[in-house]
Structure 1
Amino acid sequence: MQPKPNTINQINKAFIKRSIGSSQVVLENVFIKSATFEGMYSAGIPTQKLIDHHVDLAKGGVGMTTISYGAVSADARTFDSQMYIHKDSLVPLKLLAEKVHAAGAKVSIQLTHCGYFSKNKTARKILAPSKLFNAYGFLSGMGFSEAMTLKDMELVINDFVKAAISLKTIGFDAVEIHMGHGYLLSQFLSPLTNKRKDEFGGSIENRSRFPLQLVQRVVTAVGENFPVLVKLNLSDGFKNGFSLEDCVYVSKQLEKINCAAIVLSGGFTSKTPFYLMRGKIPLKGMIQNGSSWAEKITMAVFGPFIIKEYKFEPNFFLDQALKVRKAVNLDLVYLGGVDSVDGMLQILEKGFNFIALARPLIHDPSFLHKIRSGNLSKSLCNRCNECIVEMDRGGVKCVLDSAG
């Protein structure tokens, strides 16, 4: 479907240079490839496939591409083959940055710690705000987390700081600290997983204390012209979890500590994983990808009952995101259901600074070129979500033909 001539002229305003926050890092346009787990690693080291994947996105016209799930330490990994930031992974990451720059885009990486959501058998201990049952790792013999001590918190902060400095040193343009989706920092923010009785639990002021301290330390360590973005839930997607009101509070605090931009997201991986994804649940493939017969059987029996499906609608987070837009002045990256020229224009008209895209670019890395040239007005992605299954089958990819 081709856009109307007047919309082609309107969408051109999305393809102008724009700096991230107050930094001197300038993107060629407002489009950011959202961090989406690629599954393109070998023994924790990025492969050539990961490099090619992000170079293709850069050639396709994104202003910045974001590598997903860069664990800040070996213990921070969700599973033991996941990439983490250390001297051996920095070599291919440096090459990736150079090639993305040569293709005309900027590059960022998502820094994360899994917290209790782990089946990483090499981890010395499983950390979380509180002692929690770990359903994800239970069948791997990792049933419970330990409540973090002040010493644990300081070590984790240092891991994030060291990772960010290392990435700046090898030529990355920014980092994105993952405070959403039910990983460690999100676990502190959510009443579901934070049961602490000290200054790090209870009110949202207390629950956000450790995550905000961590972001502040990273911002201070990397300096003014290395943007630190934060991925933050609008809500966890269930009652008595991290709420939209909590999000507004945390966003205001992030503005005070010079966070460059917030990527607004949602969902809690262990409870509402498709709150973010929306669309169909590829249950058959998820069952096949189980790492053991016990996991396959558990998913087959309980999957249809515990994994809730959410209907896909264009710009599905917009109403919630507007509450944050009205509350803060810092740059906001809108994420959630943008798949057309009309959807893009709506987001920009509502005052959001950047637009994050995932599935439309997985379906077709040239999606933005086609939009800008007037050859396409809407992504042909059908939200089957089979790309999620492919993450564990050699790397994320679309199972559809990019032409339809």
Structure 2
Amino acid sequence: MTQPAPPDVLAPARLGPVALRNRVIKAATFEGVSRKGLVTDELIDFHVRHAAGGVGMTTVAYCAVAPEGRTTRHQILWRPEALPGLRRLTEAVHAEGAAISAQIGHAGPVGNPRSTGLPALGPGRRLSALSGALIRRAGRADLTRIVQAHADAATMAIEAGFDAVEIHLGHNYLASAFLSPRLNHRTDEYGGSPENRARFARDIARAVRDAAGDRLAILAKLNMDDGVPGGFWLDEAIQVARWLEADGSLDALELTAGSSLLNPMYLFKGDAPLREFAAAMPRPVRLGVRLFGGRMLRSYPYRDAYLLEHARQVRAAVRMPLVLLGGVTGKPVMDLAMREGFQFVAMARALLREPDLINRIRADAGVTSLCIHCNKCMPSIYRGTRCVLVPAG
């Protein structure tokens, strides 16, 4: 039998109930310009640039479902006071012809008690390598509250005019920490077997679907590999993807890797900008980053489509739409993703370097990204995420 031709990545497509003008998603990259949990003009401008640059959908990161679920007190927090600004944001993006998604989640052990003033939560008690604070064990009441908070966030996202939400199940944020056998040593119904460790993530996805129905597209960002010994890995990721597909909770799954808690550079690949990270830290922390930062911020060789090898294993196991992330820099990689059976691609650093890259690729398929994968954009999150090679202004 003749195989159907792969889809055109720049042609219109559907993501659940949402019509997109193309299959390119601006991946969630924490923008660092929200203030006191609210939208700012700078945040709107950030996403308008990417919408005007041609993406099918841009993703707002990261919108916490609970006060203690933030990595900084300035991150957007789902509450009624945030809705007017979020509406201004969605209207501005829609005016440029793009759709807009909100990444929703709970930072869990990645949360920063020194900034939020609230205890970070995790599957069990441990000392945070990020903040030095003690992470508190999440009880059943916490988990029930947080599941409901995800559902409430989806309802508010609809009210604010979002087209989609992306549930954060990666990077050892709370749901991902429960998935990890390295971090989750519980002996109750949320620990032990892969099915128990996946219970919390599946409960969240079901609650979001029940709250949103077909009024939103629902995606989830799922780790394939934590990048640490004894962590969540591909074999269990495939099983979790199958469970999420069987639950019918999601319209698409975006595949990612790495641990913001234990090995953040595993996702990004390329250079580890230790000097720039140290310079961005408060003075007492700066010396420690210079002396010991290399233990956590490791360099990994970059290549285009660097998550594809793992992602195609998930692709072979499920039929639901998948989003390929990681080293998507130009039309050849996008076309490769379509040939491999992925329905969407997600881009981050390449679009920080050139927000209009998709428009340029549409005009000339031979255009290549100017991103050099130096990762010096990463420390900029503390003052407003940007490519350092582009003059500020």
User: With structure 1 as the length reference, what TM-score do the two structures score?
Assistant: 0.92
2:385 is aligned with what amino acid?
A: V
1:92 is aligned with what amino acid?
A: G
1:127 is aligned with what amino acid?
A: L
Matched residue, 2:389? 400
1:81 is aligned with what amino acid?
A: H
Question: Structure 2 CA distance, aligned partners of 1:48 and 1:224?
Answer: 30
Paired residues, number: 385
Question: Structure 2 CA distance, aligned partners of 1:71 and 1:282?
Answer: 27
Matched residue, 1:155? 145
Q: 1:282 aligns with which of 259, 270, 273?
A: 273
SS in structure 1 of the partner of residue 386 of structure 2: coil
2:218 is aligned with what amino acid?
A: V
- C-alpha contact 1:108 1:176 (8 A) present in aligned 2: yes
- C-alpha contact 1:11 1:341 (8 A) present in aligned 2: no
Following superposition, the deviation at residue 342 of structure 1 comes to: 1.4
Q: Which runs of 4+ in 1 moved over 6 A?
A: none
Query: Deviation digits for residues 190-231 of structure 1, max 9, x if unmatched?
Result: 011101011111111110011111111111111023111000
Following superposition, the deviation at residue 152 of structure 1 comes to: 0.8
Matched, 1:15 2:4: no
Matched residue, 2:51? 58
Matched residue, 1:249? 239
1:65 is aligned with what amino acid?
A: T
Matched residue, 2:222? 232
Q: 1:320 aligns with which of 310, 330, 335?
A: 310
Question: Structure 2 CA distance, aligned partners of 1:183 and 1:107?
Answer: 22
SS in structure 1 of the partner of residue 254 of structure 2: strand
Question: Structure 2 CA distance, aligned partners of 1:374 and 1:127?
Answer: 48
SS in structure 2 of the partner of residue 137 of structure 1: coil
Query: Deviation digits for residues 86-128 of structure 1, max 9, x if unmatched?
Result: 1222211111101111100100010121112222344443211
Matched, 1:72 2:65: yes
Following superposition, the deviation at residue 401 of structure 1 comes to: 4.2
Question: Structure 1 CA distance, aligned partners of 2:288 and 2:25?
Answer: 36
Q: 2:122 aligns with which of 124, 128, 133?
A: 128
Which stretch of structure 1 is more off in the superposition, 34-43 or 296-305? 296-305
Runs of 5+ unmatched residues, structure 2: none
Q: 2:136 aligns with which of 133, 146, 162?
A: 146
Query: Deviation digits for residues 304-323 of structure 1, max 9, x if unmatched?
Result: 23321111101001110000
2:320 is aligned with what amino acid?
A: L
SS in structure 2 of the partner of residue 248 of structure 1: helix
Matched residue, 2:332? 342
Alpha-carbon distance change, 124 to 385 in structure 1, aligned in 2, over 3 angstroms: closer
- C-alpha contact 2:113 2:119 (8 A) present in aligned 1: no
User: With structure 2 as the length reference, what TM-score do the two structures score?
Assistant: 0.95
Matched residue, 2:212? 222
Question: Structure 1 CA distance, aligned partners of 2:365 and 2:14?
Answer: 28
Question: Structure 1 CA distance, aligned partners of 2:110 and 2:329?
Answer: 30
1:187 is aligned with what amino acid?
A: A
Runs of 5+ unmatched residues, structure 1: 1-9
Alpha-carbon distance change, 186 to 240 in structure 1, aligned in 2, over 3 angstroms: same
- C-alpha contact 1:118 1:134 (8 A) present in aligned 2: no
Which stretch of structure 1 is more off in the superposition, 321-330 or 72-81? 72-81
Which stretch of structure 1 is more off in the superposition, 355-364 or 69-78? 69-78
SS in structure 2 of the partner of residue 355 of structure 1: strand
Which stretch of structure 1 is more off in the superposition, 368-377 or 201-210? 368-377
Identity of aligned residues (%): 37
- C-alpha contact 2:112 2:120 (8 A) present in aligned 1: no
1:15 is aligned with what amino acid?
A: L
Following superposition, the deviation at residue 377 of structure 1 comes to: 2.5
2:210 is aligned with what amino acid?
A: T
1:226 is aligned with what amino acid?
A: L
Question: Structure 1 CA distance, aligned partners of 2:88 and 2:297?
Answer: 39
Question: Structure 2 CA distance, aligned partners of 1:169 and 1:306?
Answer: 40
Matched residue, 1:34? 27
SS in structure 2 of the partner of residue 41 of structure 1: coil
Matched residue, 2:374? 384
Alpha-carbon distance change, 14 to 375 in structure 1, aligned in 2, over 3 angstroms: closer
- C-alpha contact 1:12 1:372 (8 A) present in aligned 2: no
Matches within 5 A, 1:165-314: 165-258=155-248, 259-291=250-282, 293-314=283-304
Question: Structure 2 CA distance, aligned partners of 1:12 and 1:218?
Answer: 29
Matched, 1:115 2:108: yes
